[in-house]
Amino acid sequence: MNTYLKYQSPAIQFFSFLGLASGFFILNIIISTYFFSDLSAVLINRNAPISSYMINQFKWAQLLGATVSFILPAVLFGYFSSPKALPYVGIQKTISAILLLLSVVLLVFIQPFVGWTGNLNSKLNFGSMQKTLQDAEAVYTRALEVFLQMKTPSDLFINLFIMALLPAIGEELFFRGALQKVLLRLSNKPWLSILVSSGIFALLHGTFFKIIPIFALGILLGTVYYFTRNLWYTITIHFLNNALAVLAVYFSSRSLTINKFANDNFIVPFYFAIVSLLAVVSIMYFIKKKSDEVLPEVVTNEDNDYLAR
């Protein structure tokens, strides 16, 4: 029926999504303030004791935040936009094994370039804002330290779900499936929708000292989604990227190399970053080429308007 948002103007669709996102973000703040108010003391005070109860509280807060702030507004946006809600926000029924493999290879080859941007980011000085941002970064780092305390394999699997899989699904639905899509409809410029959604993606991670590599990863994910119109590939990349970080922390005590990776202590040479970037561009070419073959099989004429293009 023509009451679906997909039949409305791009501006109405954009502001509808903005309203949904803002409403659920405020709801998450209210719920977190009511149920998890004692977590802030642990984040601010590095000497505060960390009990198993507190770690569990962090995990529940993360679970709630990913669901309320990202998954629900994106899925509801799809529901209000189209009779096929999930395909509208990028959850397609089929997956190409070749594209899935290329996505994994892409993640491997982007690592040196992302590492180099991290080195670059660490050298930035934000002037008068430096101290304020360093204090905020300390809180961010403290949250990761508390959250990633893992003593048993079961702790590892729980964190892989809460810190790797859930954010990958939620953030890809929100930033690529919904936000990038509506920005593309609004601007009709793919590069602009990718850059803006990636910028917001980086900012909402709350760390200015890692904002460039997060932004770079966002551009990669946005481009893959634009080429494939299928979130399963970006979810795979996002999950594996998060999982590598969780696994590195878990095994950091067993290897100096892994410890350096876990603490971002690697220095990546510029030439290595260039080779990495060239490899990524080449892989992207094959992803685009394969996507052009796969899309007609995945998307019928009836479903064409469910895709951001």
Helix 211-228 vs helix 97-122: angle between axes, to the nearest 10 degrees?
A: 160
Q: Which residues contact 176 (CB under 8 A, 6 or more apart)?
A: 90, 197, 221, 222, 225, 231, 234
Q: Is 33 helix (H, G, I), strand (E, B) or coil?
A: helix
Residue 48 one-letter amino acid = A
List the chain residues with pLDDT less than 50. 1, 300-303, 305-309
pTM over 0.85: yes
DSSP for 225-265 reads: HHHH--HHHHHHHHHHHHHHHHHHHHTGGG-HHHHHHHTT-
pLDDT of residue 48: 64
Q: What is the pLDDT of residue 249?
A: 85
Q: What is the pLDDT of residue 308?
A: 38
Residue 217 is encoded by which pair of tokens? 């990863």
Taking each helix axis from N to C end, the angle separating 211-228 and 231-250, rounded to the nearest 10 degrees, works out to: 150
Which residue shows structure tokens 């702790």? 155
